Structure 1
Amino acid sequence: MRPDHPLAAALLAELAIEYSIRYGGTAGAIHRRMRDRPATDFLAPHGALVVLMEHGELVAGGAFRRVDAGTAELKRLWTAREHRRRGLATQVLAELEAGMVRLGYRRAFATVGDRQPEARGLYPAAGYAEVSEIGGRYRFEKILGSVAGRPREFVGAAVDIGPQSRPA
């Protein structure tokens, strides 16, 4: 999905609200900073944006961008508050990793803040190693596997996860 698609705009707006709640500042200022990153960072052939939809509703998403020829950075992994604890972030991460591998990336990393305990649990559970902590920001890295025989094109996706039962 293109970063300028209305669903991507909705994801960034929700993420800005989440960050403002966790870290302070206004959602508007945070949203402007996120929009300042060039949209081309998250477009093929160097990056991608993935969103998960359920019954037409945006429930989760995330993106990656190129750092160098072999390395991609994960950005903006998010799950809507009312859809958390369903494994959706794990599903988004798997889609993003598959896309990174298709584009030839061999290594991925993510940086998360100290007020994101969910992310600090997600990455190690997905095979990422914590490699540093500086000023309340934690960096996780993973060497990616290969996807033999898969095409090298990956442009992102809107994935409809269909009906799923929700925990009580």
Structure 2
Amino acid sequence: MRLDHPDARKLNDRVQLEYTERYGDPDLTEMDPAQFDPPAGLYLIAYDPDGTPLATGGWRAQDHSPEGYRDGDAELKRMYVVPEARGRGLARRLLTVLEESAREAGRARMVLETGTKQPEAIALYTSCGYLPTAKFGYYRCEPNSRCFAKPLIVPAGVPDGSPAAGLRHTAGAGPAASERR
């Protein structure tokens, strides 16, 4: 699917309403649907058996920029599960597939930005191994913004769970083991 698919637009409208309820305004991040096209990104929609769209998520390649990204970053965007489908593990499953896709595309680190008014998102990301990182992106100067990162490529000789994992990319080492905005 693409970010401009009708089901994606429908779910995006719902998440924008939720952002407005929680923060007072919708997400102002500009996103071109082509940014999520493979191999430089991926956008997914999860459906229930009757074809109702339940969840979305995507990643787009980001590299060094004045906004604070690093070369090799994959930025997680539009993670959203409709309220009536929450608690089923959809976000966690989408996140796993997105991380695997970004890793296979050679991205070294998954980064995301969320907000303090989304404690359930922060809990999901931290439980999946994401750690706080320096702020980046459109909301990097906002006090309610929180940025997280998780290494996707672990250098040779560094255990997967080590704090040093993903801090550098060793040449030749292959891929290893709701975001507010």
Query: Which of 62, 65, 87 does residue 60 from structure 2 map onto?
Result: 65
**Matched residue, 2:150:** 142
Tell me if structure 2 keeps the 8 A contact 1:50–1:95: no
**Matched residue, 2:97:** 95
Q: Which amino acid aligns with 2:93?
A: Q
**Matched residue, 1:13:** 13
TM-score normalised over the length of structure 2: 0.72
Tell me if structure 1 keeps the 8 A contact 2:116–2:145: yes
Q: Which runs of 4+ in 1 moved over 2 A?
A: 131-134, 145-148
CA shift, 1:3, in A, is 1.5
* CA-to-aligned-CA distance 1:11-57 (integer Å, 9 cap, x gap): 211111111111113xxxx37x45x4211111122111111110211
**Matched residue, 2:116:** 114
Higher helix share: 1
**Matched residue, 1:80:** 82
Return the alpha-carbon distance in structure 2 between the equivalents of residues 63 and 105 of structure 1: 14
TM-score normalised over the length of structure 1: 0.77
Query: Which of 30, 42, 48 does residue 48 from structure 1 map onto?
Result: 42
- Residues matched between the structures, number: 142
CA shift, 1:147, in A, is 5.9
Return the alpha-carbon distance in structure 2 between the equivalents of residues 8 and 52 of structure 1: 10
Identity %: 35
Stretches of structure 2 lacking an aligned partner (at least 5 in a row): 64-70, 136-141, 154-174
What SS does the aligned partner of 2:133 have? strand
